[in-house]
């Protein structure tokens, strides 16, 4: 039997996943003559044994396409998996033993797991349980994986947010309004702060710096005092007021993380309650995860895909492809799951924002 590798995309989707699938398939087939098996819907496909053959023709035209041709699921936690019983009830089971058995049946030379912190921590658990031939590719619009400077999907999300901010500028100015834009990023402010810098926002609230509402209001008063009667406020979904909590829509359960949302409206309500300024809120939501990847993400996806195949070829399992100071490197999977990569409140990015007068609320 010929040598075979597998690939799956887990967790929330993002632009650039198809670029990774394409690069893995082309490099594995053309350089090594390996077969490539796509596992559908993250670890769900491993449990359900849903596979697809990947070759040069199935990955044709894939590079600019958003989403993932393999499908993905952020409920496919093999260690707390929602199993539908014959009577229709759903019970949470640990299905990892069956996943491991299915993996053994596939007899893969290596499994490439494309994912964020959740998918990487499941992979880490599988490695600890003997499925050692795993390598990772970091993706998430949140850019919050400690192992790498950039994850696939982040730059595209920033491009989308910056375009939205630019549009909000013109309407905000016409109507002399405060425009609040809530962006994703979970507990990290990378999307918010990078987009605020690139989009020329006036206030930016990120999870890493708890905000003082009075400081935020003061920023508007200062602008109005200078005769500028509109403002753009970028709010990360994980932003918190000093001493307050996250704005949560749905609490976590054993199968999934808590769902954040409402941080932007919370700020807008506070501004409306305490000032005469007119405020409107835009929640960009999943628009940030949709559509075609930007050039940076297409390139990163391709480099990561090729690197992941190289790691399999070298037998360097238990590692993820990563970018460090502009160079492609391999980092242990633990590094991707140990802790979230957050913005340093005393770091260069924050100092830059403060340096040009962006109010960060704290």
Catalytic residues: 142
> Per-residue x/- marks for ligand F6P, 135-154, CB under 6 A?
-----xxx------------
CA distances from 309 to 54, 197, 277, 331 (A): 14, 36, 55, 14
Using the minimum distance from each CB to ligand F6P, give the nearer residue, 289 or 341.
289
Interaction residues for ligand F6P, span 68-127 (CB under 6 A): 74, 116
In the complex, residue closest to ligand F6P by CB: 184
Binding flag, residue 12, ligand F6P (CB under 6 A): yes
- 194 is an interface residue for ligand F6P by CB under 6 A: no
Is residue 260 close enough to count as binding ligand F6P by CB under 6 A?
yes
CB 321 within 8 A of CB 311: yes
Q: Of 222, 228, 231, which is closest to residue 200 (Cα–Cα)?
A: 231
- 294 binds ligand F6P, rule: CB under 6 A: no
Q: Which H or E element spans position 158? A: helix 154-175
Q: Give the strand pairing for 319-324 and 134-138.
A: parallel
343 belongs to the binding site for ligand F6P (CB under 6 A): no
Residue 182 found at the interface with ligand F6P (CB under 6 A): no
207 lines the binding site for ligand F6P (CB under 6 A): no
**What Å distances lie between residue 197 and 59, 212, 233, CA to CA?**
36, 20, 12
- Contact between 289 and ligand F6P per CB under 6 A: yes
Rounded to the nearest whole angstrom, what is the least distance from the CB of residue 179 to ligand F6P in the complex?
21
Structure token pair of residue 141: 């619009």
Nearest residue to 239 (alpha-carbon basis) of 274, 210, 281: 210
255 counts as binding ligand F6P under rule CB under 6 A: no
Q: Give the whole-angstrom CA distance, residue 303 versus residue 63.
A: 12
Nearest distance, CB of residue 308 and ligand F6P, angstroms:
20
Contact residues toward ligand F6P (CB under 6 A) are 12, 74, 116, 140-142, 184-186, 237, 259-260, 289
């Amino acid at each position: 039997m010929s040598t075979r590798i597998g690939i799956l995309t887990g967790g929330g989707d993002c632009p650039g996943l198809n670029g990774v699938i394409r690069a893995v398939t082309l490099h594995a087939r053309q350089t090594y003559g390996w077969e490539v098996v796509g596992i559908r819907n993250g670890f769900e496909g491993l449990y359900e044994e849903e596979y697809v053959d990947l070759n040069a023709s199935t990955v044709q035209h894939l590079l600019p396409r958003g989403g993932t041709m393999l499908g993905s699921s952020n409920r496919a936690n093999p260690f707390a998996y929602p199993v539908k019983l014959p009577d229709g009830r759903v019970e949470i089971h640990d299905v990892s033993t069956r996943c491991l058995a299915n993996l053994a049946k596939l007899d893969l030379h290596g499994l490439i797991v494309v994912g964020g912190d959740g998918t990487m921590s499941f992979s880490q658990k599988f490695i600890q349980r003997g499925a050692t031939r795993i390598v990772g590719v970091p993706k998430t619009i949140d850019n919050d994986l400690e192992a790498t400077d950039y994850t696939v999907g982040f730059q595209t999300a920033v491009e989308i947010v910056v375009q939205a901010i630019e549009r909000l500028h013109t309407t905000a100015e016409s109507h002399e309004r405060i425009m609040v834009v809530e962006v994703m990023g979970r507990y990290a402010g990378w999307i918010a702060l990078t987009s605020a810098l690139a989009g020329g926002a006036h206030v930016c609230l990120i999870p890493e710096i708890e905000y003082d509402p009075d400081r935020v209001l003061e920023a508007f008063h200062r602008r109005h005092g200078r005769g500028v009667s509109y403002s753009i406020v970028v709010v990360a979904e994980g932003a918190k007021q000093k001493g307050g909590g996250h704005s949560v829509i749905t609490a976590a359960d054993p199968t999934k993380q808590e769902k954040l949302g409402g941080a932007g409206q919370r700020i807008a309500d506070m501004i409306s309650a305490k000032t005469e300024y007119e405020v409107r809120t835009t929640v960009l939501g999943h628009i940030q995860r949709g559509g075609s990847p930007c050039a940076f993400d297409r390139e990163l996806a391709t480099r990561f895909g090729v690197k992941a195949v190289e790691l399999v070829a070298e037998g360097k399992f238990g590692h993820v492809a990563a970018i460090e100071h502009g160079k492609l490197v391999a980092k242990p999977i633990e590094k991707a799951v140990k802790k979230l990569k957050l913005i340093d409140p005393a770091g260069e990015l924050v100092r830059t924002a403060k340096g040009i007068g962006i109010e960060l609320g704290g």
